[in-house]
């Protein structure tokens, strides 16, 4: 390139744009500052480029939606107790509105729980005498390979075992099914000392008995029920039943109505329970009558 060549002069506005990068700033004003127009205009005029202006109460009520990853700086105009409480409520939304690595500038005032709330919201907090700066951290993803240490299979014990098997391949092998007998599979019942019956008193089995006492009681109950089974008479045994066998002792009737039936007999009648009969008659039951017993 020759020395006679001169680059064209750029307009002054273009030179200023190239020299000073344009930042996107957001000014958050509390409602109390909106009524003081002179102070609000003074704050806005202190910026080289007029920032966006949003009211803090409208942000806290979710009336205004902020763009994602849009602002380089967010500035809080004033700081008092009511402003701090509203700012804490919108910190998560301001975090997403900031670009990674950019900050929120809060002027000095009552600090309260701004530091802890800022950390909880995801900011890196730098608190000083002139104010607090909440910075959105820059996140980056890095792939790290995991090198797992594998356990060596060829240990000394395995090598010795392989050498032993290789030296005597015809050694007899033991059948593992013959190592345990039938009684080895039966789990012995161990009676706890507290379940042992005391002298002169029999202990009852618990609801969740595992010592075998419950099974012993059930066996005894079954044996007792078997002994108490009723005896059934055969057909030949019911062919002839003499209900007047007591008559051989010549029972004497004081009322003279015993032969009429139980309806005419007293509670001490010797013929009570017998069917009606004729005086002096021997009562016999037929074979068919035994089916009703």
Q: Does 269 appear as a known binding residue?
A: yes
CB 71 within 8 A of CB 102: yes
Q: Does 274 appear as a known binding residue?
A: no
Q: Does 258 appear as a known binding residue?
A: yes
Q: Which residues contact 239 (CB under 8 A, 6 or more apart)?
A: 287, 290
Hunting for tokens 């032993």 — which residue is that?
164
Q: Does 53 appear as a known binding residue?
A: no
Residue 44 CA neighbour count, 13 Å, CB half: 15
Strand order in the sheet with 98-107: 52-55, 25-29, 71-76, 98-107, 131-135, 124-128
In angstroms, the CA 271 to CA 259 distance is 8
Q: Does 5 appear as a known binding residue?
A: no
Q: Does 211 appear as a known binding residue?
A: yes
In angstroms, the CA 11 to CA 74 distance is 31
Known binding site: residues? 195, 206, 209, 211, 255, 258, 266, 269
Known binding site for [2Fe-2S] cluster: residues? 195, 206, 209, 211
Known binding site for [4Fe-4S] cluster: residues? 255, 258, 266, 269
């Amino acid at each position: 390139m020759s020395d006679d060549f001169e680059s064209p002069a750029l307009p002054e506005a273009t030179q200023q744009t190239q020299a000073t990068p344009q930042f996107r700033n957001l000014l958050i004003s509390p409602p109390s500052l909106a009524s003081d127009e002179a102070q609000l205009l003074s704050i806005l005029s202190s910026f080289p480029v007029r920032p966006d202006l949003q009211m803090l109460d409208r942000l806290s009520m979710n009336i205004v939606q902020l763009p994602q990853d849009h602002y380089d700086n967010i500035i809080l105009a004033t700081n008092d107790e009511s402003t701090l409480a509203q700012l804490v409520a919108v910190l998560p939304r301001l975090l997403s509105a900031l670009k990674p690595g950019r900050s929120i500038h809060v002027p000095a005032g009552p600090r309260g729980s701004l530091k802890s709330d800022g950390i909880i919201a995801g900011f890196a907090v730098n608190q000083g005498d002139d104010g607090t700066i909440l910075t959105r951290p820059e996140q980056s993803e890095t792939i790290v390979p995991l090198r797992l240490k594998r356990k060596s299979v060829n240990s000394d014990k395995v090598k010795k075992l392989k050498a032993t098997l290789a030296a005597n391949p015809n050694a007899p092998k033991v059948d593992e099914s013959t190592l345990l007998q039938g009684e080895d599979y039966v789990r012995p019942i161990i009676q706890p000392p507290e379940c042992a019956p005391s002298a002169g008193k029999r202990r009852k089995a618990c609801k969740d008995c595992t010592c075998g006492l419950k099974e012993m009681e059930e066996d005894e109950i079954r044996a007792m029920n078997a002994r108490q089974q009723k005896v059934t008479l055969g057909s030949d045994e019911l062919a002839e039943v003499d209900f007047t066998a007591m008559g051989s002792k010549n029972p004497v009737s004081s009322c003279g109505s015993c032969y009429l039936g139980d309806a005419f007999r007293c509670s001490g009648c010797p013929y009570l329970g017998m069917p009606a009969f004729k005086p002096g008659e021997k009562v016999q039951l037929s074979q068919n009558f035994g089916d009703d017993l």
